[in-house]
Amino acid sequence: MRFNFRLLCVEKVETTIHEAHRVVDIIEDMAEEVDKVAEETVKHLPEGKFRDAVEFVEKVAEDVEKRAQQAEDALEKVLINLDFEVIRTTV
């Protein structure tokens, strides 16, 4: 009975991690697109506050991309540790 409960918990955690990974992928894709558009837009703007604002948006998008990658890395580590724990407890 205990093993079945543990397996059920592991499955739920894995499902949640996969869903979180999917959300992070969407966020990363959107940030990449915002970064591309902002980068291209800056090329056509004269110096001034509007250009500064677009450059700020570009930097924020780059930061979001970086943090999304960090989140993906963390989720992967959790999955690896979870798989290791399952193998360790079943042996």
Tokens of 33: 């697109």
- Pairwise CA distance, residues 13 & 83, whole Å: 11
pLDDT score of 91 more than 60: no
More confident residue, 90 or 7: 7
Q: Count how many domains the chain has.
A: 1
pLDDT per position as a tens digit, 32-50: 999 999 999 999 999 999 9
pLDDT at 87: 64
pLDDT score of 3 more than 70: no
- Rounded alpha-carbon distances, angstroms, from residue 20 to 11, 38, 40, 71: 14, 27, 30, 9
Q: What H or E segment, with its residue span, contains residue 41?
A: helix 2-42
pLDDT per position as a tens digit, 55-80: 999 999 999 999 999 999 999 999 88
Tokens of 81: 């540790």
pLDDT at 77: 92
Q: Which residues constitute the domain of residue 73?
A: 2-90
